[in-house]
Amino acid sequence: MTAPHTFQDAPPLPARPPRNLRAELVIAAALVAGSALLGVLMGALWHWLAPRVPLYADTSAVYLKDPEGEQAVGADGTFALIGLGIGLLAGAAAYWTTRARQGGITVAVGLTAGGLLGGYVAVKLGAALGPGSDVVALARSVPTGQTFYGPLKLTAQGVLVAWPIAALAVLVGLTALFTPRPAPAPAHEETPPQDGPDTP
């Protein structure tokens, strides 16, 4: 008689360690706080690099010195480029500092919220470092007809998402490239028949 065929059970996959809610909140808070600090750096860079809108005034009104100029668009583009660069750095730093914990939704949420907060801080700081928002007062502070520069501001609010989009893209890309995937379960192996006393 031939012994019945038996199948070996596949070894169970190692259980993923349970998440600690408090630790996850700490990670998210650290990402948001770090992004706020980066927002200070971004605001200073934006103030330094962004083109300014030249103005002049007579006794009745304030005018654009260069009506065909693209300084306002250039300021928005400069903000977007700086945001993309900082977002790339923030996403990479977040991945490498949390990869041992396998990231998770907490890192993505922290990067998104932090990027939006950092952009807001950058807008406020960049504007505060430049001329005041009262254009009439600025015009009165210079001689009539002399060129002066308007306040630094965003005209396209959509550029605020450049930072979080770049950060999330880097996080997803690095996760896909470097995070190890669980090994596939081995196929069931058939146990060869064992010789019995009745085997011819």
Q: What is the pLDDT of residue 15?
A: 47
pLDDT attached to residue 14: 46
- Pick from 144, 126, 111: which is nearest to 34 by CA? 111
Q: What average pLDDT is seen over the chain?
A: 81
Is the pLDDT at 11 greater than 60? The verdict is no
Q: Please tell me the distance from the alpha carbon of residue 192 to that of residue 28, in angstroms, as a whole number.
A: 54
- Work out the pLDDT band at 102, boundaries 50, 70, 90: low
Boundaries of domain holding 47: 24-178
Q: Is 183 among the domain residues?
A: no
Query: Distance between CA atoms of 144 and 133, rounded to whole angstroms?
Result: 19
Is residue 108 included in any domain, yes or no? yes
- Res 113 pLDDT > 80: yes
Is residue 99 very low, low, confident or very high in pLDDT (cuts 50, 70, 90)? confident
**How many domains does one find in the chain?**
1
18 domain-assigned: no
For residue 97, the model assigns a pLDDT of 87
Asked if residue 56 has pLDDT above 70, the reply is yes
Q: What is the pLDDT, as a whole number, of residue 78?
A: 96
- Sheet strands (E) in 67-182: 148-149
Look at 13-27, 38-52, 64-78, 85-99 and tell me which has the smallest mean pLDDT.
Answer: 13-27
Taking residues 138-156, report their average pLDDT: 80
Any domain includes 190 = no
- Find residue 64's DSSP bridge partners: 55
Q: What is the dihedral of CA 73, 77, 78, 83, to 10 degrees?
A: 140
pTM of the prediction? 0.75
Residue 17 lies in a domain: no
**Domain assignment of residue 185, yes or no:** no
